[in-house]
Amino acid sequence: MTSPVSISVDGGVATVLIDNPPVNATSQAVRQGILDAIREIDANDTVQAAVLACAGRTFVAGADIREFGKPPEEPHLPDVLQAVETARVPVVAAIHGSALGGGLELALACHARIADGKAKLGLPEVTLGLVPGAGGTVRLPRLVAMENAMEMVTGGKPVSAGRALEIGLVDRISNNDLVSEARAYAEELIQSGKPEPTSARTPRDRPDASFWTEKEKRIAAKARGQQSPVEALHALRDSVTLPVADALTAERARFLRLRDTEQAAALRYMFFAERNTGRPAEIENVEPLGLGVAGVVGGGTMGAGIAAAMLLAGMTVVLTERDAAAAETARERVAGILDGSRKRGLLSDAAWKDALSRFSAQDNYNALSAADLVIEAVFEDMGVKREVFTELDRVCRADAILASNTSYLDVNELANATKDPSRVVGLHFFSPAHIMKLLEIVRTDAAAPATLATAFALAKKLRKIPVLAGVCDGFIGNRIMAAYRRECDFILEEGALPQDVDAAMRDYGFAMGIYAVQDMAGLDIAWAMRKRRAATRPADERYSRIADRLCELGRFGRKTAAGWYAYADGAKAGQPDPAVEKIILEESARLGFTRKPFTAEEIMERILASMQAEARAVLDEGIALKPSDIDVAMVHGYGFPRFRGGPMFAAGYRD
């Protein structure tokens, strides 16, 4: 079998080329090929320097995903990198595309690094429940300051080539032909001499004990129970407090130990689940429709966020509101989101101006006549939304896709408000829409394959993770959330308080508990939904009145300074409120409960059981295509801790 690694020699400089599409992953064959190439170079006295480069669109972008969850085969990556670092001649890494994980570790083992200006470099192992296992935590702090190394290793986010040059991770940026410039760099090193191996260099700095104590406290709080970020910090500490050989051994042992943990298994599962969310068979080989011009109806928080997301993706967006004043408010809201992206460095000044030039806010539906796709994001009321769809059906092109951002309502009924229901689809965004990754694509009974294909194409364009859902009350995510929210209310009736439930969820790994989330989102939307369902609710169904009583008092959450918690003077963090406890105790007494304390474990057992029971019903009814789609929805839309894999993974599903 042909090796994915080739070697050529010209003028005393060897070029080692990795060609393992699509991302030049460090498969067993690649590792063996690199090792063989270094041995060949070491044995060839005519070679005085080497360039390590990759074919295709990227440098080595990580491990071979086919080897995930399996014991690695020889040669092991640390041994390959040791051979690179101790090579007889200087080796220059020529980096383009992405150098991630083992790919960056390979570059770190080289004696010098030159990167294309658009390259990205990172050590994302923590996102898979791991730490670098081939010297990344030992070599990196010898090139960059520990603060920078800590950000890269414990956070997992890549840095740009420009930033890499600034912090010392790469030596040069290529402005023209990368490999040619790398070869020229290698020729310079022939004259100046081989640089010291990275692992032999002195660390850029050696922080004192207080640095590590403070960083561990901060990282552990942010990790919320995920082990790998803290373990990564410990590996970095080892890199400057232990001899190099011992630090390398400790790092590898830590990597191997973490690889076999439940958290790493859950994160590997999520890695694949996010890339394999279900697409209906009928859209295979179906071409999506054009997505150049989009319309948005409604310029509130959600509508503005959707408009901003599409503008950031390069689309032209027309937003309509009920009158000129509302349209101007919507324009300012969208402009504010874009300006926020610019201030955070996510948009250049030129890109910001370009995005604004592609946006307009109008006060009439006729402005949507040229749109390829229109998304309504008006108040969550069936009557209001039907009126919108009737108008869209009148003014939009016959081939335009019409979408609803409804959270709960029957999209089939909305589709039936049009002459052609086949072009209607649900697109349930999550707030803030320009940031949240999840997009539930709700398939109506009449949706045409081209409609669905276009919805998935939009998700890709917006860099969202699409999850297909069928039509039901709340689709996948909101239906499951409604179920466990009810269960939480029952736990309140039986003995807990909101702060007990929220603390248990935070301890499990949620960023926020359910009651803090409700206060942030507003209690009034769910209340409207409950009132809508009241007429059809079975008489014998258990129903908690606590939330209704809060809403009847006008306690809708942060926006009214009172909900499940009290928010004094505009505070974002709520405080337990005796008035809420009084209502809970009254409801317990009315229902005849003798209140009892709950442990955090007991609370989470109840929450998980209710999630899983509703999720199984969602599967059985065909609302979700597979269990992993449910987990993706709960992780990316509802804050379920990613390192726990989602409720279905926790229940033993491994599709």
Choosing from 105, 321, 391, 493, the catalytic residue is: 105
My answer on whether omega of the bond before 75 falls inside 30° of 0, hence cis, is yes
> How many residues comprise the chain?
655
How many CB atoms within 10 Å of residue 6? 14
Q: 309 with 294: CB under 8 angstroms?
A: no
Out of 97, 101, 102, 295, which one is annotated catalytic? 102
End-to-end CA distance of the chain: 32
Instruction: Tell me which of 49, 53, 61, 63 is the catalytic residue.
Output: 63
- 37, 49, 62, 125: the active-site residue: 125
Residue with token string 């840095």:
159
Decide if 216 is catalytic. Answer: no
For the question of residue 63 being annotated catalytic, the response is yes
Sign of dihedral through CA atoms 467, 469, 474, 478? negative
**196 part of the active site:** no
- Quick one: which of 229, 219, 232, 27 has its CA closest to 138? 232
> Does 495 qualify as catalytic in the annotation?
no
Query: What does 27-86 look like in DSSP terms, one character per residue?
Result: -HHHHHHHHHHHHHHHH-TT--EEEEEE-TT-S--S--GGGTTSPPPSSPHHHHHHHHHT
Q: At what angle do helices 262-275 and 244-259 cross, to 10 degrees?
A: 70
Task: Determine the longest span between alpha carbons in the chain, in angstroms.
Answer: 91
**280: how many CB neighbours lie within 10 A of its CB?**
16
Q: How far are the Cα atoms of 232, 382, 506 from residue 516, in angstroms, in the given order? A: 31, 28, 11
Kindly report the number of other CB atoms within 10 A of residue 77's CB atom: 24
Distance CA 34, CA 354 (A): 45
Q: Would you please indicate which residues are annotated as catalytic (active-site) residues?
A: 63, 102, 105, 125
